[in-house]
């Protein structure tokens, strides 16, 4: 069964249960400074899980592309990927545990044909804040009994603590949380009954997680929510792996066209040895992830999402050259990316030449980095002072390799090849060198991760009072830009923190001091008028007809929420497709100052503004 059919069956199954489909959004979180990328299917729904009414009602379903860049170093095994597609269904204060668990298992067993004997469950064991999830255990036992299976605790149902089976949005007072129940598929030999998935991870793979969002955090612990939510998430790629009876996620239709192309180009077999398998997995994952980032408008740079894209492309060059002796990676492999996921993203074909050009330029730039660094590498190797280290000291050699990578961007793997050629008698094995290099990188990553956690500590959208105020100010700024610079101005992205707002828009030149002053004055004028801010839920076609602004590349559901600034929608100063939240009246805002502007890419400007 192709992944396309799995997705179609999933959407159809939950639409039969009264769910409305919502769009597959960009990987770039909109109006949120707490995340580099959308990292789960539920991310776009944070306001609605907190109580905002959703335009399409209380039962929703979709597939959402998601990225977990922090998994980068784990790529190379049979199950981890940086980008994945999360199948999700939600109940916003409607159905709860009985319906959700019944539907989840019914979908896997009856719609996809999975063997119920290979399905296992985990539930929350309980702690001082919430008791053991006995309710879910009883429901799961009844479900398995329908298929003639006696599901006993510690045999088919396992209880885990908070780290494994409790989900919460964050640590702050007011955050949402609750127990969850995961669904595992057994990949091993025999029945698997009695094997604990937590201690036999290589033999099991998680294919779904039912989160029961029934608590809110208080100063004293957790209290029951009046609105109990359900959030189900299941990775399409992992589900495809078990449906297609594979032991390797890269052997599914989501990746195998890329692997097959690599075999043809390199004349090497995917499974011929560990290093070749790992290199092909890394190339397949990274090119697929990079392609989706570029599709969503990211360009290589040294900051944030652009840095991540650059990292993907440079790792591709490193592994492609070092292990597979491959050149022009993007140009030769991009068609196989389209073959694997083009059915879901037809825009990849439309943007093909633009993306290949972007990637090829970055690859070429990195090739130049390698060429530029080589004289320094050669000098280090030929320096007799270094000979003893390079011949006998794995840690010292790794330190040289790490420093070269930090200063020159030179891949440490390539250094070992040079050392081996210059000093065949070296006692340092590839494995010794790799272990020491990994140690240096882990120390470096620990420091980097601390910085990243400080920058993106929320993990999900920040809806503090100041951020909500800046969100509304962004709408005012957008309209002011259109009035001062022309109605061809289109929003290209935005980012909001407690300190400022950042707004990207289509424009090819720097704003003059006069233009900046006019924009600031127009925003201040509207704030001084104390205009109300309201929303209306409308049919998409009707909303477009009203003149409400929106991302032209973005997909929207049939019904949308339109926020407008003014007494009514027809005469509003600003009106945009937006999920909210916003202030109730502009009197809650302060005037803004545009304190910085810069070019982002060709034809796109970025401005920074803050309240004064």
DSSP assignment of 373-430? HHHHHHHHHH-HHHHHHHHH-HHHHHHHHHHHHHHH---HHHHHHHHHHH-TT----H
CA distances from 442 to 58, 297, 413, 437, 439 (A): 44, 30, 16, 9, 5
The 10s digit of each residue's pLDDT in 417-462 is: 788 888 888 888 877 887 888 788 777 666 554 544 444 333 334 5
Q: Collapsing DSSP states into helix, strand and coil, what is residue 551?
A: coil
| 184 and 151 Cβ atoms separated by less than 8 Å | no
Mention every residue, 6+ apart, whose C-beta is less than 8 A from residue 173: 217, 218, 219
**Where is average pLDDT lowest: 109-123, 261-275, 364-378, 457-471?**
457-471
Q: What letter does residue 40 receive in the DSSP assignment?
A: S
Mean pLDDT, the chain, whole residue set: 89
Q: Which of 223, 217, 231, 171 is nearest to 459 (CA)?
A: 171
Give the Cα separation of 57 and 334 in Å (integer): 39
Topology (CATH) of 3-250: BirA Bifunctional Protein; domain 2 (3.30.930)
Task: List helix spans (H) across 206-273.
Answer: 236-243, 256-266
pTM over 0.85: no
Would you state the pLDDT for residue 437? Answer: 82
Mention every residue, 6+ apart, whose C-beta is less than 8 A from residue 76: 278, 281, 282
Query: For tokens 């003149």, what's the residue?
Result: 547
Question: Is the predicted pLDDT of residue 580 greater than 90, yes or no?
Answer: no
Find the helix or strand (DSSP H, E) in which 31 lies.
none
Q: Collapsing DSSP states into helix, strand and coil, what is residue 187?
A: coil
- Mean pLDDT (whole number) for 208-228: 88
Q: Collapsing DSSP states into helix, strand and coil, what is residue 90?
A: strand
Q: What letter does residue 107 receive in the DSSP assignment?
A: I
Give the Cα separation of 354 and 560 in Å (integer): 31
CA distances from 109 to 132, 144, 245 (A): 27, 10, 14
Residue that wins the pLDDT comparison between 471 and 444? 471
**Bridge partner list, 61:** 21, 89
Would you state the pLDDT for residue 327? Answer: 84
- Mean pLDDT (whole number) for 537-545: 89
The 10s digit of each residue's pLDDT in 157-201 is: 999 999 899 988 667 777 788 999 999 999 999 999 999 999 999
What's domain 465-611's architecture?
2-Layer Sandwich (3.30)
Length, in residues, of the chain: 612
Mention every residue, 6+ apart, whose C-beta is less than 8 A from residue 341: 254, 288, 291, 292, 348
Domains 3-250 and 465-611 share a fold: no
**Where is average pLDDT lowest: 295-304, 560-569, 587-596?**
295-304
Give the Cα separation of 239 and 228 in Å (integer): 27
CA distances from 373 to 37, 327, 381, 410, 532 (A): 32, 19, 13, 7, 60
Angle between helices 274-295 and 352-382 (to 10 degrees): 130
Dihedral (Cα; 187, 193, 195, 196), 10-degree rounding? 100
**Bridge partner list, 491:** 505
| 543 and 600 Cβ atoms separated by less than 8 Å | no
Q: Which of 330, 308, 185, 180 is nearest to 243 (CA)?
A: 185
- Mean pLDDT (whole number) for 297-314: 86
Phi (first) and psi of residue 186, to 5 degrees: -85, 120
Give the Cα separation of 289 and 121 in Å (integer): 30
User: Domain locations in the chain?
Assistant: 3-250, 258-455, 465-611
Q: Collapsing DSSP states into helix, strand and coil, what is residue 482?
A: helix
């Amino acid at each position: 069964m192709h992944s396309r059919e799995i997705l179609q069956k999933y959407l159809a199954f939950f639409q039969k249960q009264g769910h409305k489909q919502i769009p597959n959004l960009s990987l770039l979180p909109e109006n949120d400074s707490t995340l580099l990328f959308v990292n789960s299917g539920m991310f776009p729904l944070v306001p609605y899980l907190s109580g905002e009414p959703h335009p399409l009602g209380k039962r929703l379903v979709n597939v959402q592309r998601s990225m977990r860049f922090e998994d980068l170093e784990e790529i190379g095994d049979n199950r981890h990927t940086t980008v994945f597609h999360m199948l999700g269904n939600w109940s916003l204060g409607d159905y709860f545990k009985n319906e959700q668990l019944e539907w989840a298992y019914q979908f896997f067993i009856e719609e996809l044909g999975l063997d119920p004997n290979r399905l296992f469950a985990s539930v929350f064991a309980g702690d001082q804040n919430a008791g053991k999830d006995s309710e879910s255990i009883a429901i799961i036992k009844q479900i398995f009994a329908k298929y003639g299976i006696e599901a006993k605790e510690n045999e088919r149902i396992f209880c885990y603590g908070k780290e494994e089976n409790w989900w919460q949005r964050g640590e702050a007072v007011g955050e949402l949380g609750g127990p969850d129940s995961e669904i595992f598929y057994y990949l091993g030999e025999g029945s698997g009954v009695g094997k604990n998935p937590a201690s036999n991870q290589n033999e099991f793979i998680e294919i779904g997680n039912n989160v029961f969002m029934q608590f809110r955090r208080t100063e004293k612990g957790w209290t029951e929510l009046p609105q109990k939510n359900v959030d189900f998430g299941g990775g399409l790629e992992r589900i495809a792996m078990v449906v297609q009876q594979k032991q390797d996620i890269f052997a599914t239709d989501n990746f195998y066209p890329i692997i097959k192309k690599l075999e043809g180009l390199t004349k090497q077999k995917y499974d011929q040895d560990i290093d070749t398998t790992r290199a092909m997995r890394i190339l397949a994952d990274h090119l697929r992830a990079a392609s989706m980032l570029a599709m969503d408008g990211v360009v290589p740079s040294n900051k944030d999402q652009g840095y991540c894209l650059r990292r993907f492309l440079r790792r591709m060059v490193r592994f492609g050259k070092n292990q597979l002796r491959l050149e022009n990676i993007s140009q030769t492999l991009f068609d196989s990316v389209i073959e694997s996921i083009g059915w879901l993203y037809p825009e990849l074909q439309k943007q093909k030449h633009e993306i290949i050009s972007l990637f090829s330029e970055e690859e070429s730039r990195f090739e130049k980095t390698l060429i530029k660094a080589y004289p320094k590498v050669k000098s280090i190797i030929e320096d007799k002072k270094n000979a003893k280290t390079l011949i006998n000291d794995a840690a010292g050699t790794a330190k040289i390799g790490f420093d070269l990578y930090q200063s020159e961007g030179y891949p440490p793997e390539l250094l070992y090849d040079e050392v081996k050629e210059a000093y065949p008698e070296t006692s340092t094995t590839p494995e010794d060198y790799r272990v020491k290099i990994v140690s240096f990188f882990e120390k470096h990553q620990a420091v980097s991760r601390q910085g990243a956690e400080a920058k993106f500590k929320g993990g999900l959208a920040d809806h503090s009072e100041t951020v909500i105020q800046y969100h509304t100010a962004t709408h005012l700024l957008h309209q002011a830009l259109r009035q001062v610079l022309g109605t061809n101005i289109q929003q290209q992205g935005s980012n909001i923190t407690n300190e400022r707002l950042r707004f990207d828009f289509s424009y090819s030149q720097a704003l003059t001091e006069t233009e900046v002053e006019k924009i600031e004055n127009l925003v201040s004028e509207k704030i001084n008028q104390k205009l109300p801010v309201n929303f209306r839920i409308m049919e998409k076609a009707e909303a477009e007809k009203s003149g409400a602004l929106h991302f032209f590349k973005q997909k929207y559901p049939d019904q949308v929420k339109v926020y407008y600034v003014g007494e009514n929608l027809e005469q509003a100063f600003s009106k945009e497709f937006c999920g909210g939240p916003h202030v109730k009246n502009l009197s809650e805002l302060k005037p803004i100052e545009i304190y910085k502007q810069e070019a982002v890419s060709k034809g796109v400007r970025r401005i920074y503004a803050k309240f004064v």
